[in-house]
Structure 1
Amino acid sequence: MDKIYLNGMEFYAYHGVYEEENKLGQHFTVDLVLEADLKEAALEDNLEKSVNYADAYAIVKDVVEGNTYDLVETIAENISLQVLNHFAIVDQVKVKVVKPNPPIPGHYQSVAIEMTRRRAE
C-alpha cells in the first residue's frame, strides 16, 4: 500500500481533563499517515485520483481547533473518522497526536497517542 505523510502539523487548542488546559490552551502536533493505492493517480498525474494535502490538513485543523475534548484519544479517533469519511481512496489512516506540555509532574519531551483505523470492509 502506498502512503501519504503529513508530518508535524502544529495547532493551538483547548483540550484536557484539567480546567486550566481548557482555559489556557496548549500546543498540539499531529502526524498523519494515509494508506491508499496511488498508482492510478501517479500514472495519470491526476490529483483527483489521490488525496489533496490541503484538504487533509483542513480536516485535522477543524477537529483539533474546532472542538474541545478531554482526551487526546478522542482527537485522534475523530481525525481518523473524518479522513476515512472524506477520502474514499484511503484504506487506512494512522494518526499521532502529540501533547508537548501536559500539566503533569516529571521530565519528559511529550506525551502522545497513536492510533490506526482501517476502512470497514
Structure 2
Amino acid sequence: MDIIKLKNIRTFSYHGCLVEESKIGSDYTVDLQIKADLKRSMQTDELEDTVDYVHLNKIVTEEMAIRSKLLEHVAKRIVNRVLKEIPAVMNVIVDVSKINPPIGGDVQSVTIQIEENR
C-alpha cells in the first residue's frame, strides 16, 4: 500500500460543547493520511488512476464546516466520507486538532486521532 498525506489543513470552525464555541469559533488543523494502491498512477501519470488529494481536501473542509460538539464526531464523518466516496482508499487516519482549547490551562492543542480500514 502507498500513502498520501495532507498535513496541517487549517480551518476556522464552530465545534465544541460550550455555547460560546458555537458563536465565536476557533482555529483547527486536520491531518489526513490514506493508504491506497498507487502503482497504476505511477505508470500512467493520469489523475483518474490515483486518489485525488483535491477531493480529500474538499471532504475535510466541508465536514469541518458542519458544527459538532465533539471532535470525535467530525473526525468520524471525515473518515466515513473518504471511504464512501473514494473506493481505492483502503485505510484512513485522521487527526483533528483544536488550537488553544478552552480547558483552563496553557495547552497548545487537543487532538483526536481515528483510524479505519476498509
TM-score (norm. length: structure 2) = 0.97
Query: In the TM superposition, what is the alpha-carbon distance from 1:108 to its structure 2 partner?
Result: 2.0
Query: In the TM superposition, what is the alpha-carbon distance from 1:107 to its structure 2 partner?
Result: 1.9
* 1:76 aligned counterpart, secondary structure: helix
Partners of 1:86 and 1:41 in 2: how far apart?
A: 18
Q: What corresponds to 1:75 in structure 2?
A: 74
Please list every run of at least 4 consecutive aligned residues from structure 1 whose deviation after the TM superposition is greater than 6 angstroms.
Answer: none
Q: Does 1:43 align with 2:43?
A: yes
Partners of 1:5 and 1:60 in 2: how far apart?
A: 13
Q: What corresponds to 1:91 in structure 2?
A: 90
Identity %: 40
Q: Does 1:26 align with 2:15?
A: no
Structure 2 residue ranges without an equivalent (≥5): none
Structure 1 residue ranges without an equivalent (≥5): none
Give the superposed CA RMSD. Answer: 0.7
**Matched residue count:** 118
Partners of 1:103 and 1:72 in 2: how far apart?
A: 14
